[in-house]
């Protein structure tokens, strides 16, 4: 298929995007406190061919303080210098620079500014992690908000942004608070009818267009459909009505669905383009260009969306994180080289912690400025070395690929018949097929290089490794799931488990042990694997019960926006769930659990097979043996073999170790720069 269509310019009001690749607004975790990192991250996207590159939510005033979420600000002139530099960095690569002006309304916290949270009505704030309420805005508040937005738009224009956003998406917008009957209980001209509820949005759009004055474009980011709300806005009702009502005003419609867990749905629960059934009507009711998202990584799909008149621009957040050079690769005919997003939402989880964004596929994400890492370029080795990597999982593959690009001679040995390690094994489980992309991308790249030798089904001993006489040896042998009862809420082994038919996720994935009778999945890890184990075994026809000592099932997946979907899936599959129950003892037919809140109540469950999902043990025996005879500077331990973690951590470990070896061989010093706020214009 020809992809020329994707590289056509698109007129957006008074400005023109050089192509149809549009990096939509998303948080980077750097915010106003670490502008150099944020700037370098976005510049990398522009260099990689994204024709339009946008900021994250940019707070317009002290009444929209998101306290704890590292977003950008344009409260006053003190922040202007950082924006000037960011615009310059994006534009020097020929891309348009966009800024998403935002006011979080009833999602604000205002802990830093100390002013009241404001919204259309006197109601508790949304997602009340804090005991705060919003104050109903009076006419003076509304006037002041409009002035704040106008001032921010003027500052954005002065900074040189080509596209200025009015943000009315998700539930992180004051406009959404006014639009929905759920939070708008007003009886004046800003409440009641849809026309009244949309009044503030219309007024601010008109204000922003006046400020832009035909010199920069005005975009409206709008969630046309809410999937899990009370009195929701729907794409075939008020969502469509709003687009029809305001369709002529903005120069660009950036459309998605709400809430964030639906917009940024993981690959476990959605396919590429899952938003399209809700958003594809927008092109039919406006003559303005439309950008939409859907975790698009396939250029064929992108072309079909343009040809079918569904979108004008291909929006991306997560795919642009996984591969900032995706557009350039398509343009060069290197589609096989795209590092495809796996839809795991590790990037999303970083927002909950208020830290710089990370990516399973792209270990250089957020390290562009801080460590000087480039996603495509690796410093050439001044003298090529012979490097042996033992273990072909995520860490070993990434380490091999990075060192090979530098020009070293790399030998990669894997004990299993196939490379991929944990990523390959988990990709065979229900809902996790995209995990295979971690393996497939790296194996394909390694297979193209003459300086790489791959040895699957080759288990090496310490003597084998020493006989190889490599200049550098990297041990990436992974980790194994424990079967002794040790997990995140129990640190002591349970000796009586030897009397129980106990299996681990490793046993399920390898089918090395039989699963019989009634199955209890005990999740003391609290990530996704416990729920996946329950779903996988239920799919195979087993009677399954899921038990966890935590207050929630798969608690960490709240950060990846999956926890609600996991609970719904378990309910649909009729898998009983017991939270707050800690494993005490049992035998080959029953298990006894203690209820933790309050402690003391016991529960007995019939159990023929216990699937224990707890901690993991690093497979570091080979490394410890080699330590006795090899110099420390030429022996390295990486990934889960160093410390068990998520797949992203293993990939990052492999990449970081490779970069350290490159610096060592080249006689260079690794650096780690500390970011700081810019001090004014």
pLDDT for the residue numbered 70: 80
DSSP assignment of 226-288: ESS-SS---TTTHHHHHHHHHTTS-SEEEEEEESHHHHT--TTT--TTTTHHHHTTHHHH-SS
pLDDT for the residue numbered 127: 73
Is there a single domain that holds both residue 314 and residue 434? no
Q: Does residue 10 lie in a domain region?
A: yes
Beta bridge partners of 97: 53
Q: What's the structural domain count of the chain?
A: 3
Q: What is the CATH number of the domain that holds 286?
A: 3.20.20.70
Instruction: Indicate if the pLDDT at residue 54 is higher than 90.
Output: yes
Is there a single domain that holds both residue 96 and residue 19? yes
Instruction: Indicate if the pLDDT at residue 616 is higher than 70.
Output: yes
Is there a single domain that holds both residue 465 and residue 503? no
Is there a single domain that holds both residue 404 and residue 551? no
Q: What is the CATH number of the domain that holds 599?
A: 3.50.50.60
Q: Does residue 254 lie in a domain region?
A: yes
Is there a single domain that holds both residue 606 and residue 586? yes
For the chain, give the percent of residues with pLDDT over 70: 99
- Helix 80-91 with 35-47: angle, nearest 10 deg: 20
The structure tokens listed for 546 are 């899921």
Confidence grade of residue 572 (pLDDT, cut at 50, 70, 90) = very high
Say if residues 295 and 318 touch (Cβ distance below 8 Å). Answer: yes
User: 3-class SS at 407?
Assistant: coil
Distances (CA, A) of 121 to 118, 192, 197, 569: 8, 12, 12, 35
Mean pLDDT, the chain, whole residue set = 95
Helices in 95-183 by DSSP H: which ranges?
A: 139-159, 174-179
pLDDT for the residue numbered 223: 96
pLDDT in tens, 393-423: 999 999 999 999 999 999 999 999 999 999 9
pLDDT in tens, 246-280: 999 999 999 999 888 888 999 999 999 999 999 99
Mean pLDDT of 85-105: 97
Q: What is the CATH number of the domain that holds 401?
A: 3.40.50.720
Say if residues 142 and 188 touch (Cβ distance below 8 Å). Answer: no
pLDDT in tens, 432-450: 999 999 999 999 999 999 9
Q: How far apart are CA 90 and CA 85, in angstroms?
A: 9
SS3 content of the chain, % helix, strand, coil (to 5): 35, 20, 45
pLDDT for the residue numbered 386: 98
Say if residues 343 and 37 touch (Cβ distance below 8 Å). Answer: no
Is there a single domain that holds both residue 465 and residue 488? no
pLDDT in tens, 305-319: 999 999 999 999 999
Confidence grade of residue 128 (pLDDT, cut at 50, 70, 90) = low
pLDDT for the residue numbered 681: 45
Is there a single domain that holds both residue 625 and residue 636? yes
Is there a single domain that holds both residue 511 and residue 607? yes
Q: Does residue 340 lie in a domain region?
A: yes
What counts of helices (H) and strands (E) characterise the chain? 23, 29
pLDDT for the residue numbered 112: 85
Sign, CA torsion 6/12/16/21: negative
Q: Does residue 131 lie in a domain region?
A: yes
Q: Does residue 367 lie in a domain region?
A: no
Q: Does residue 294 lie in a domain region?
A: yes
Is there a single domain that holds both residue 317 and residue 438? no
Is there a single domain that holds both residue 450 and residue 538? no
pLDDT for the residue numbered 679: 56
pTM of the model: 0.96
Is there a single domain that holds both residue 625 and residue 599? no
Q: How far apart are CA 217 and CA 38, in angstroms?
A: 23
Beta bridge partners of 452: 410
Q: Does residue 364 lie in a domain region?
A: no
For the chain, give the percent of residues with pLDDT over 90: 89
Instruction: Indicate if the pLDDT at residue 661 is higher than 70.
Output: yes
Find the Cα–Cα–Cα–Cα dihedral 16, 19, 21, 25, rounded to 10°. Answer: -20
Is there a single domain that holds both residue 490 and residue 399? no
Q: Does residue 22 lie in a domain region?
A: yes
Residue 406: give the domain boundaries.
386-478+619-665
Confidence grade of residue 132 (pLDDT, cut at 50, 70, 90) = confident
pLDDT in tens, 380-396: 999 999 999 999 999 99
């Amino acid at each position: 298929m020809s992809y020329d269509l994707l590289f056509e310019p698109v007129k957006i009001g008074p400005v023109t995007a050089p192509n149809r690749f549009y990096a939509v607004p998303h948080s980077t975790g750097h915010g106003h406190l670490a502008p150099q990192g944020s700037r370098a991250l976005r510049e990398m996207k522009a260099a990689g061919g994204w024709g339009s590159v946008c900021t994250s939510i940019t707070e317009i005033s002290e009444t929209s303080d998101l306290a704890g979420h590292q977003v950008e600000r344009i409260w006053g002139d003190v922040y202007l210098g950082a924006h000037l530099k960011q615009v310059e960095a994006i534009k020097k690569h020929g891309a348009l620079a966009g800024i998403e002006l935002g006011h979080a309304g009833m999602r604000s916290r205002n802990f830093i500014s100390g002013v009241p949270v404001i919204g259309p009505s006197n109601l508790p704030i949304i997602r009340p992690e804090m005991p705060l309420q919003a104050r109903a805005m009076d006419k003076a508040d509304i006037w002041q908000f409009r002035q704040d937005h106008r001032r921010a738009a003027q500052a954005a224009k002065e900074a040189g942004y080509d596209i200025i956003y009015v943000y009315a998406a998700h539930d992180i917008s004051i406009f959404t608070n006014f639009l929905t009957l759920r939070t708008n209980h007003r009886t004046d001209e800003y409440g009641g009818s849809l026309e009244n509820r949309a009044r503030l949005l219309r007024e601010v759009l008109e204000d922003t267009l006046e400020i832009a004055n035909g010199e920069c474009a005005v975009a409206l980011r709008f969630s046309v459909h809410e999937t899990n709300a009370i009195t929701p806005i729907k794409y075939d009702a008020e969502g469509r009505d709003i687009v029809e009502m305001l369709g002529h005003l903005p120069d660009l419609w950036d459309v998605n669905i709400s809430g964030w867990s639906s917009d940024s749905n993981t690959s476990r629960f959605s396919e590429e383009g899952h938003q399209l059934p809700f958003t594809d009507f927008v092109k039919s009711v406006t003559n303005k260009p439309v950008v939409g998202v859907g975790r698009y990584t396939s250029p064929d799909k992108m072309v079909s969306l343009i040809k079918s008149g569904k979108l004008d621009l291909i929006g991306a957040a997560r795919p642009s994180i996984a591969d900032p050079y995706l557009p350039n690769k398509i343009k060069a005919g290197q589609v096989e080289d795209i590092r495809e997003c796996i839809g795991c939402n590790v990037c999303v989880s970083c927002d909950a912690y208020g830290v710089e964004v990370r990516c399973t596929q792209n270990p250089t994400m957020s390290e562009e400025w801080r460590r000087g890492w480039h996603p495509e370029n690796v410093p050439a080795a001044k003298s090529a070395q012979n490097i042996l990597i033992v273990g072909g999982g995520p860490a070993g593959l990434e380490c091999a690929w990075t060192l090979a690009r530098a020009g070293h001679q790399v030998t990669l040995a894997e004990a299993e018949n196939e490379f991929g390690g944990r990523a390959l094994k988990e990709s065979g489980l229900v809902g996790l097929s995209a995990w295979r992309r971690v393996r497939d991308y790296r194996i394909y790249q390694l297979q193209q290089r003459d300086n790489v030798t791959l040895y699957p089904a080759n288990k090496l001993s310490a003597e084998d490794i020493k006989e190889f006489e490599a200049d550098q040896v990297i041990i990436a042998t992974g980790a194994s799931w424990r079967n002794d009862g040790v997990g995140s809420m129990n640190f002591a082994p349970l000796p009586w488990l030897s009397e129980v038919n106990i299996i681990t996720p490793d046993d399920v994935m390898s089918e090395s042990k039989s699963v019989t009778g009634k199955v209890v999945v005990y999740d003391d890890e609290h990530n996704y694997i416990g729920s996946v184990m329950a779903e996988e075994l239920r799919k195979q026809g087993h009677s399954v019960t899921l038990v966890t000592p935590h207050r929630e099932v798969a608690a960490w997946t709240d950060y990846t926006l999956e926890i609600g979907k996991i609970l719904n899936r378990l309910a649909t599959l009729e898998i009983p769930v017991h939270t707050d129950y800690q494993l005490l003892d049992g035998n080959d037919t029953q298990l006894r659990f203690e209820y933790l809140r309050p402690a003391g109540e016991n529960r007995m469950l019939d159990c023929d097979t216990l699937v224990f999902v707890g901690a993991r043990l690093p497979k570091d025996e080979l490394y410890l043996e080699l330590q006795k005879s090899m110099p420390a500077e030429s022996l390295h331990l990486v990934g889960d073999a160093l410390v068990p973690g998520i797949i992203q951590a293993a990939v990052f470990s492999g990449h970081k170790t490779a970069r350290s070896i490159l610096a060592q061989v080249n006689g260079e010093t690794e650096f780690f720069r500390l970011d700081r706020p810019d001090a004014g214009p």
